Each structure stands twice: as structure tokens, then as C-alpha cells.
Amino acid sequence: MTEGMMLYLTLLLAFTPGVLCSSHRHTRQEPVSETLTKLEQEFWEWRMLDAPMFSTSVGESRHNDIVESFAPDTYTQRKVQVADYLSRVSAIDRTALDQTQRLDLDIFKGFLQTFLDGAQWNSYFTVNPVNFLEGDTADPTRMATIMPFSTIGDFENYLQRLLKLPGKIDQEIQLLEIAVSTGRTLNNVSVAGVPDQIDSLVQKTAHVDNNPFYQPAFTTRLDSSQVPLAKRASLRARADKAVYDINEAMLRLKAYLQKSYFPATRTSLGVSGWADGKAIYETCLKFHTTTDMTPQQVHDLGLKEVARIQGNMNAALKRLQFSGTIKEFYDKIRTDARFHVNTSEEVLRIFNDYIFNRIFPKLSTMFKDIPNLPLKVEPMPFDGPGGQYASGTPDGSVPGIFYANVMHPKQKAMISAMSLSLHETVPGHHLQSIYSLTSTIPKYRAFVEDDHYYRMPATFPINTAYLEGWALYSEYLGEELGMYTDDYMLMGRYSDEIFRACRLVVDTGLHYFGWNRDRAIQYMLDNTAESRQGLTVEVDRYLTWPGQATAYKIGEIKIKELRQRATDQLGTHFELADFHSVILQNGGMPLNLLERLVDDWIAKVKAMTHPGSDPLVG
């Protein structure tokens, strides 16, 4: 038994309800705030063990030699543990806490309760761990990307993970078997591309140096490490064998998908085709939007926003002296060489120029105390959305990374490159991330565990509306920062904004109102600058992650609403940089608690600028 497994079993026993009860009895009466802090820290330690890849990604190295269990009974054990934590946090006397601590308590309780609320639909989601958007088949580079590679212990840890990966893949097959036997599979569009991903991965092993599980870990990383030369050949030989076993497991997964899973895939596109499907979708919406909005309300809001943004577009087209329709404008853009590039390198150059030469120098006009943590732009290793952001670590040893999709450079108009840069990096997700990483909030709030979208809503919340609402709001800030230097760039910004508004219509249409795939793609094609190929991938994403895409607009609208409220109530005492600090330095939370936080801040500013007024008590 490895040292890592011994540690896993020891800590698992320590975090087992019943064993826990003796560990939180105290011989003295400790302050209630201390009880809350200790409980949050204990919860974090358990999460690090339960999700070791997440642990590695946030810079915790204690569990770098293990992989997460995907055994069918793991979720039940996790649910029991969460219920125990909720019971204990619910026993804390809220009246004994100050305003900040009460907010912390409410966030923690909501965090745990959201997991349990979604757990009723666990048997529909966690049994489908494979899709074309995420996981080892879609992004085999992730494991090596987040690992440290310096000492022989680092390489041994990574090797242990490689050795355990075939067992994890076999556990995923067991979960898929449950999905098939219970009739709770995904639609074919969510999984149809996985065999090709596996083929691509396996073919790269014709020479092991090309396999992403092997390189760069056992090539350039090992060459530049502190590992003695005499040890390197042995490590490489063992890694070679591990990669072979991983490929064999991948081929078993491919065979199961083609023989058993594909014939059993859900015939309905949306989740409403499942038993209780509409109730399931309502839970998905609540999970991602953190509101009680109904599918109809979300759909109607989308139609309203589409119409509003079309008004802005028509005004821009008038300034451009373009006499055609919005659709005709974007059709023209798709074939106009001025707005396209030929190579992946050109795409990366444009993003780097926008981010580091244009946006960064202007940030200080709207933000204060910006943490100095690194950011890199790299090509996305698979064909997914236009871009994705991955957080770094608090010490800067792992940078934040903006992964830009460079797969089809000639097909994608670059007029939206600025808004995408603002969204994914600064002042969007990167700024959002580094403020949280350097704040004093509890770690479970500072770090977002967004590795397993397929589990949502039967998992811990990631506060999608806050997370993505801020990023969409950041695209709007680009106007105030002067980033859109002509109406073509502004039309690119409007295209991205209407893209998010269309998602409200399309996501609810697919999962609640019976839309087919062609109708969804055509609706997006009529209203955005995206290509048919890109929109097909997007619509398939909405089908795979129900509700997730609706959160962007809903979160952005709330942040704008709160900013306007603060502006109206504070008048000349309103400082935009201070408002942004309130939003960013407290990490993700449901929108109702974000509203409470801003209201409390408004009251405090009033109390300081208007002596005698009473601050709100949260």
C-alpha cells in the first residue's frame, strides 16, 4: 500500500461522521466565530482529500499522488458527509456573530444546502461522467498542467496518478453502465465526439513522446528537473508502461460507448425528456442563476434583451452606413478578409496585444490594489468554446491561463476578440480570480471547483451567475475603458452580448420548450456573428450542461442593477473602484447575498459621509 493511500484511508476515517463528533467537543467554551472558522477549515481539508485534482490545482500538494474516486458508492458517502457539516453549521448561534461573520455563515450554509438540494437528481448526472467538453478524453493535458515538476517526489506523485488513471476510467464505465440500465443517459450529441478524442489520444502514442500524459512531464520537465540522471531512465520506462495501460483503458471506454452507451442515448434533446425532466431543469436553473426565476421568466428576459441589443446594433450599423439587416452584416463579416486571420499564431498575437498592451494599462482607472499575479495566453488543447480561463495559485507559481480556441482561425471573425479578452482575463475572470486568491475569505470561497460541470446541479455550487455575470459585465466595462475603438469592434462586443442573451432563449427552448437542434442553431445564427460550425458546438454545449449558459446575462444584469443603486443612493460619494472592490474581494456568492453585501456597503458609506445615519445590519 502506498504512502498516499495510507494517508487517504487515515484521513477518510478522521472525516467520517461519528468519528468527527469526538473531534469537535471542546473542554472550554470557544467563541462562536472560532467554531465557524474551524468548521470551514475542516470542511476545506476534507474537500482537498475528496477532490485531489482540485487540491493540486489550488497549490495544495498533500494528495498529489491520488486521483478522485469515481466508484458508484462514492457520491452517497459524500452526501452523508455534507449533511453532517450542514447539521453542525446550522447549530451555530447566528446572533453571536458580527455582520461579516453572519454573511460568511449564510454563504457556508447555502453552499452545503445547494449540494443537498441537487443531490435528489444525482442519479441523472453523476452517472454520466463522460462528454465531449470535459474530462481526460477532452483535455488530457490538464493533469500535467497543474502538477509541480521539480523533485523526484513530484515525478513519483505524477506517475502514481498515471498508474491509477486506468482504474478511474473503469469506474467511469461502471457509472455509464448505471446510466444505461436506468435509462438516464445523455443525448448522443454530448458524447458522439468522444471516440474521436480517444483515437487522437491513442494515435499520439505511436511515439510516446507525443502523448500528453507523457510529455512534457517526462521529456522537457524531467530534463530540467533536479532528478538525478540515474533515476530518469527508470521513471521514463515506468511512465511508458503507465501510458500504455491508460490507452488500453481509453480503448475499453471507447468500445463500451460504441457498443452499449450510444444505442441507449436519450432520444430527447433536452433534459425534459427524462422522467421529472422539467423539475430537473428548474433545479439546474436555480443552481446556476442562484435565483428562483422560472424557465418562462428566463426565456422572456432573453427575448427582451435580444430586442434591446438589436437596437444598439442598428444604431451602430447606421453610423457605419450599412443599409442591410443585422444578419446581412454578420454574413458579410464572416466572409470579409479584413476581420479574419490565417494562422493560430496570429490569433494568439492579437489576444496578447489586446490584453497586455491595451487593457492592462487602463485598469487602475477603475480598480485599486490589483494583486500582482501572473497571466498567460495559451492555445486551447481541444476544440471547445472561443476561450476558457483557468485560475492560478496564490503564490503565483502557477499562472492564470487564458486558453484561446485557435482551431479554426480562418472561420472565426476577430471582431469579438476584444470582448473575449475582457471577459476571460482582465477585468474579467483573471481579475476576479486573483482578488479572491489574495483575500482573507475562507478557502472554499476563494477557490472555484469547476472541474466537473456534468455533475451540476448535484454538486457544490460555483455561483455561476456571480462568476460569469462579472465577466459579462467586464465586457461592458470595455466601453467605459475605451477598448472598442470603432463601430466594427463595438458590433463584435454587441455580438458577444446578444450571444449571451440568445442563450437565455435557446437554453430554455432546448430543455423546457421542446426546441430542436436546428432551430436553436438558426436562432443563434440569425442574431450573432458566430459561424455555423462554432454555433453547433455551442448548442451542443447547452445540451450537455443544462442551465449553465443562462447565468451570464442574469448575473450581469444584477451587477449593473446594484451599481446603479449605489450610484443613485451615494451620489457624489460613489466611487466605482470601491464598488468593484466590494464585488471582487468577497469571492463568489448567490446573487441575493451579493445584493445584501452591496446594500450593507452603501449603508456604511452613508454612515461615514452622513453622520447620524444607521448602517444596515445583515
Q: What sign results for the dihedral spanned by CA atoms 58, 60, 65, 66?
A: negative
φ, ψ (nearest 5 deg) of residue 133:
-100, -25
The pLDDT-based confidence of 1 (bands split at 50, 70, 90) is very low
Q: Any idea where the domains of the chain sit in the sequence?
A: 1-91, 121-267, 284-554, 556-609
Taking the C-alpha atoms of residue 301 and residue 232, their distance in angstroms, rounded to an integer, is 59
pLDDT the model gives residue 613: 56
Question: What is the per-residue pLDDT across 57-76, written as a single tens digit (0 to 9) for each?
Answer: 999 999 999 999 999 999 99
From the list 66, 16, 61, the residue with the least C-alpha distance to 42 is 16
Q: How many CA atoms lie within 13 A of 152 on its CB side?
A: 9
The pLDDT-based confidence of 99 (bands split at 50, 70, 90) is very high
Residues with Cβ within 8 Å of residue 46, at least 6 apart in sequence: 11, 15, 81
Question: What is the per-residue pLDDT across 471-480, written as a single tens digit (0 to 9) for each?
Answer: 999 999 999 9
Question: What is the per-residue pLDDT across 254-279, written as a single tens digit (0 to 9) for each?
Answer: 999 999 999 999 999 999 999 999 99
* Assessment of whether the complete model's pTM goes beyond 0.75: yes
- Could you tell me the end-to-end alpha-carbon distance of the chain, in angstroms, rounded to an integer? 51
Q: Is the pLDDT of residue 552 over 80?
A: yes
pLDDT the model gives residue 545: 98
Residues with Cβ within 8 Å of residue 104, at least 6 apart in sequence: 36, 40, 97, 441, 442
Which residues is 402 bridged to in the sheet? 377, 389
The pLDDT-based confidence of 409 (bands split at 50, 70, 90) is confident
Q: Is the pLDDT of residue 173 over 90?
A: yes
Cis peptide bond upstream of 216, omega within 30: yes
The pLDDT-based confidence of 20 (bands split at 50, 70, 90) is very low
